[in-house]
Amino acid sequence: MLDLIIRQARLPDGRGPLDIAVAGDRIAQIAPRIDVVAAQEIDAAGQLVAPPFTDPHFHMDATLSLGMPRLNTSGTLLEGIALWGELKPLLTPEAVMERALRYCDLAVSQGLLSIRSHVDVCDERLLAVQALLDVRETFKRYIDLQLVAFPQDGALRSPGAMENLKRALDMGVDVVGGIPHFERTMADGARSVTRACVIAAERGLQVDLHCDESDDPMSRHVETLAYEATRLGLGDRVVASHVTAMHSYDNYYATKLIPLIAESGMNVVPNPLINITLQGRSDTYPRRRGLTRVPELRAAGVNVAFGQDCVRDPWYPLGSGDMLDVAHMGLHVALMTAPDDMRAAFDMVTGAPAEIMGLDFGLEAGKRGSLVVLDAPDPIEALRLRPARLCVVSNGRVVSRTRPALSEITAGF
C-alpha cells in the first residue's frame, strides 16, 4: 500500500493529468493512472502540482519585529541597519525563537518548505544563532532551514565579527556570509570577500554574500566574488545576493562582468520586493528600480533565483511568506512577461533556489515527497492569481490544507 496518491495533477512543464504516488518520504511513481490503493488520496482535479516553494534569501532573526523599537521612516537600507542595531541589545533567545516559529507556521501554509536564512553574528552572545539552530531542529521534519553566518555590521568593520562568524560555523551554521559593501573602504570590502571565500574553501562550505546592495555604480564586489569562486574552485557553492548595483552599471562594464559571473559557475539571488523598496531612495526622476539584470544573467547561463529577504521587519513593513508574490513582482520589474519568461519566474522560486540549496526536490520518481497543490491550472495562472495552496505535502506528510476561495455574487442585472 502506498502512503499517498495525488490524482489528476498537472505538472509545471504542462504534462497531465497524472497521478503522483508517494511511499514514505519519496515519490514512488508518476503515471497517467496508478491503480493502487493508498492510505490517503487527494484529488487535484486537473490543478497544478509543483515542487515546494524555496526561499534562498531571508532574515529569520529579524522577521515579524516591525516597530521594535521604532519604524524605518526613511525606508532606506541604512536606517534599517541602524534600527536593527538598536534592537539587537534588546533581543532574547525566547523572543527570536517565538517570532521565527510563527513565521515557520506561516511558511508551511504557503507551501514554502525550504528557507535559507542569514543570521547576524555581530553580537558576542550569538543568541540569535542559537535560537535559529533550535528552530531548525524543531521544524526539521517540515522545513529545510539553512543558516548563513552573516556579519551584518561588516566582517572587518565590526570588532570580533570574523571570530564570531567562525564560532557560528563551529556551532553548526551551514553557510559563510558577508556584506562587503558595508565595510569601511572598497579595499576592505574586497578583503572581506576573499576571507569569506577562503573560509568556505577550507571548511568545504557554501558562501553567500550580500553583494553590492547599493545604487553606487562603483560598488563592484561581485567581480571579486566571481574571481575568488574561480580561483578557489568554489563554483556553484557561491551565491551573490542582491547585486542591485548592477542595475546602475554602465552597459560596457556589465557586458564584461556577466560572462565572468557565468564562467565562475556561481549563482545570483536578487530579492525583488526589498530591492525595489530600498533602492532608488536618493533618486528623483527617473527613479531606478534597483533590481539586478535578471534576463541578461539568465541568458548567459547563470542560475538566478528570487528571494524574499524580509517580512515585517526594520527593512520591509509588508510580506506574507508567499514566494508567488516575490516572483510576481520580479517578473514585472525585470520585464519578464513573455510566456517562457513567466514560466522561468515560477522556476525561480521552486527549482532554481532548490538547486542552490542542494535540495532533492522535483517531480519524478525517487525525489523527495514534498509538493504543493495550487488552485490554478498552470504556472502562469499561479503567478497571475497567487492562489490558495490547496494541499501542502512535506516529506510524504500532508501538513496543510486550504479550501479554494469561493465568492457568492448577489448583484443582479
CB 181 within 8 A of CB 248: no
Catalytic residue among 213, 223, 296, 381: 213
- With CA atoms as reference, report the closest residue to 145 among 61, 271, 32: 61
Identity at 119, one-letter amino acid code:
V
Q: Is 213 a catalytic residue?
A: yes
Burial readout 165-190 (b: 16 or more C-beta within 10 A, e: otherwise): bbbbbeeebbbbbbbbbbbeebebbb
Give the three-class secondary structure for 336: coil
Q: How far is Cα 226 from Cα 238, in angstroms, rounded to an integer?
A: 8
- Distance, CA of 244 to chain centre: 16
Alpha helices (H) in 110-160, listed in sequence order: 127-138
Identity at 148, one-letter amino acid code:
V
Dihedral of the CA atoms 204, 306, 355, 152 (nearest 10)? 10
Task: Provide φ and ψ at 398, rounded to 5°.
Answer: -70, 120
- Is residue 202 classed exposed, middle or buried when 0-12, 13-18 and 19+ CB atoms within 10 A define those classes? exposed
Can you read off the three cell numbers belonging to residue 200? Answer: 568556505
Alpha helices (H) in 184-271, listed in sequence order: 186-203, 221-231, 251-264
CB 308 within 8 A of CB 273: yes
CB 200 within 8 A of CB 169: no
Alpha helices (H) in 139-216, listed in sequence order: 161-171, 186-203
Residues noted as catalytic: 213
